[in-house]
């Protein structure tokens, strides 16, 4: 409920009654800035593991397309013969356990223990080794102590993890976020000021086709982080994925669709879906990392029944949490393809060169 109200306030247009809670959020954002400053000033010993560590993170709350970028990099490296580890705190899971396991074993675990993001990553990257702990530093140490030979470790959402040493920081920057929302949390969506991009080694502009002026955006980011390599990424919808297998997106053309998801940037997801269908019966935006209780599942089923929707459509993260529930109709998620400009090979070559891994790409 609070997340829904917060989103309404920061998405407001013009002057309205929502300006009153907006003032409260602005005052809270000042306290947040002070807290962030103090956290950064806390003296701490950096934890460094022998295996090169690459973080893929962002500077905003909510989804910036970080997971598809991690998947793209991870799959490319695996296909090139690299052995990779993935470290995550598995945010949003309901049963806290720590583990170091290959992806093909992780997918056999309950999603309550793995979290939605780790389950999605493990399903797509079964060859990778996953280390999960509430502390990313400890997770990195655990995977290093496991004795499993790895060429590099990818940290899921590690840009604000101050204690763990990284050899390279990749930051995703969502071009679809309206400029008016780029204020410090909770007045906006920024975890850190945009000036923090100065720490980034690589910036990937995600959902770049939604940028009004991509060249100008790249120039602004270059001024904030002169040393960073800047790439852009376009997301496209792939196949529909369901319990019984994959279907082409064209399958939706003559079907009525009920769209729902618990992600940080629901509006971008909706924009993508509207590109290939006009039969959207209803859209339901849920909380990020939504916990799907029986009440929530029954509400979705009831709404889909009310609108007589033929297809339930969601994201991969949501699908893994609810795939066994009987909604009385087909349930799919949309896979994504990522096109990185000027190319995945250049990005990976730059990454490997920076962290000192000698193998050739291509």
Q: Could you tell me which residues come within 8 angstroms of residue 201 by beta carbon, excluding any fewer than 6 positions away?
A: 168, 169, 170, 227, 228, 229, 354
**288 confidence band (pLDDT: 50, 70, 90):** confident
The class level of CATH for 53-235+338-355 reads alpha beta
**C-alpha span between 253 and 259 (Å, rounded):** 14
Does the pLDDT at position 263 exceed 90?
Answer: no
**C-alpha span between 340 and 208 (Å, rounded):** 10
Taking only the tens place, the pLDDT of each residue in 324-358 is: 999 999 999 998 889 999 999 999 999 999 998 87
Among residues 148, 144, 185, which one has the least CA distance to residue 60?
Answer: 185
Task: Kindly state the tokens that stand for 138.
Answer: 């400890």
Calculate what percentage of the chain has a pLDDT beyond 90: 75
**41 confidence band (pLDDT: 50, 70, 90):** confident
Among residues 178, 174, 196, which one has the least CA distance to residue 188?
Answer: 178
**362 confidence band (pLDDT: 50, 70, 90):** low
**C-alpha span between 336 and 347 (Å, rounded):** 19
Among residues 173, 190, 165, 192, which one has the least CA distance to residue 87?
Answer: 165
Least confident of 3-12, 21-30, 79-88, 347-356: 3-12
Does the pLDDT at position 184 exceed 60?
Answer: yes
Does the pLDDT at position 116 exceed 80?
Answer: yes
Which pLDDT belongs to residue 360? 56
**281 confidence band (pLDDT: 50, 70, 90):** very high
**C-alpha span between 161 and 88 (Å, rounded):** 11
Quickly count: other Cβ atoms within 10 Å of residue 99's Cβ.
17
End-to-end CA distance of the chain: 49
Does the pLDDT at position 212 exceed 70?
Answer: yes
Which pLDDT belongs to residue 359? 62
Measured at the CA of 264, the angle between CA 282 and CA 31, to 5 degrees, comes to 135
The predicted model gives 157-166 an average pLDDT of: 92
Taking only the tens place, the pLDDT of each residue in 216-248 is: 999 999 999 999 999 999 988 889 999 988 999
Does 169 or 162 have the greater pLDDT score? 169
Domain residue spans of the chain: 2-41, 53-235+338-355, 237-336
Helix (H, G, I), strand (E, B) or coil at 314: strand
**C-alpha span between 204 and 59 (Å, rounded):** 12
Q: Could you tell me which residues come within 8 angstroms of residue 218 by beta carbon, excluding any fewer than 6 positions away?
A: 205, 230, 232
- Asked if 266 and 285 count as a contact pair (C-beta separation under 8 A), the reply is yes
Least confident of 31-35, 37-41, 79-83, 134-138: 37-41
CATH of domain 237-336: 3.40.50
Does 141 or 7 have the greater pLDDT score? 141
Which pLDDT belongs to residue 361? 54
Q: What is the pTM of this model?
A: 0.91
Least confident of 81-90, 194-203, 260-269: 260-269
Does the pLDDT at position 215 exceed 90?
Answer: yes
Assess whether the region 53-235+338-355 and the region 237-336 belong to the same CATH fold. yes
Mean model confidence pLDDT for the chain:
92
**3-state percent helix, strand, coil for the chain, nearest multiple of 5:** 40, 25, 35
């Amino acid at each position: 409920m609070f997340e829904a109200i917060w989103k309404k306030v920061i998405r407001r247009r013009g002057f309205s009654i929502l300006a009153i809670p907006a003032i409260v959020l602005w005052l809270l954002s000042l306290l947040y800035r002070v807290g962030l400053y103090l956290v950064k000033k806390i003296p701490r010993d950096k934890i460094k593991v022998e295996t090169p560590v690459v973080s893929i993170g962002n500077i905003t709350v909510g989804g910036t397309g970080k997971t598809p970028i991690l998947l793209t990099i991870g799959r490319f490296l695996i296909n090139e013969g690299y052995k990779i580890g993935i470290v995550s705190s598995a945010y949003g899971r309901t049963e806290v356990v720590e583990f170091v396991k290959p992806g093909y074993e992780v997918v056999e675990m309950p999603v309550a223990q793995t979290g939605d993001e780790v389950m999605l990553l493990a399903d797509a990257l079964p060859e990778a080794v996953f280390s999960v702990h509430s502390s990313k530093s400890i997770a990195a140490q655990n995977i290093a102590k496991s004795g499993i030979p790895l060429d590099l470790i990818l940290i899921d959402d590690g840009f604000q993890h101050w204690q763990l040493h990284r050899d390279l920081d990749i930051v995703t920057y969502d071009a679809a976020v309206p400029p008016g929302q780029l204020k410090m949390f909770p007045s906006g969506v920024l975890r850190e000021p945009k000036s923090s991009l100065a720490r980034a080694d690589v910036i990937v502009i995600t959902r770049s086709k939604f940028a009004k002026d991509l060249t100008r955006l790249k120039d602004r980011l270059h001024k904030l982080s002169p040393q960073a390599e800047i790439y852009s990424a376009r997301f496209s919808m792939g196949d529909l994925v369901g319990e019984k297998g994959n279907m082409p997106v064209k399958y939706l053309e003559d079907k009525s669709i009920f769209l729902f998801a618990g992600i940080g940037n629901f509006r971008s997801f909706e924009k993508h879906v509207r590109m290939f269908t006009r039969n959207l019966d209803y859209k339901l935006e849920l909380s990020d990392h939504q916990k799907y209780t029986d009440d929530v599942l029954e509400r979705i089923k009831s709404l889909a029944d009310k609108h007589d929707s033929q297809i339930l459509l969601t994201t991969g993260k949501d699908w893994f949490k609810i795939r066994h529930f009987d909604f009385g109709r087909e349930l799919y998620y949309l896979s994504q393809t990522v096109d990185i400009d000027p190319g995945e090979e250049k990005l990976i070559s730059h990454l490997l060169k920076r962290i000192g891994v000698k193998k050739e790409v291509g």
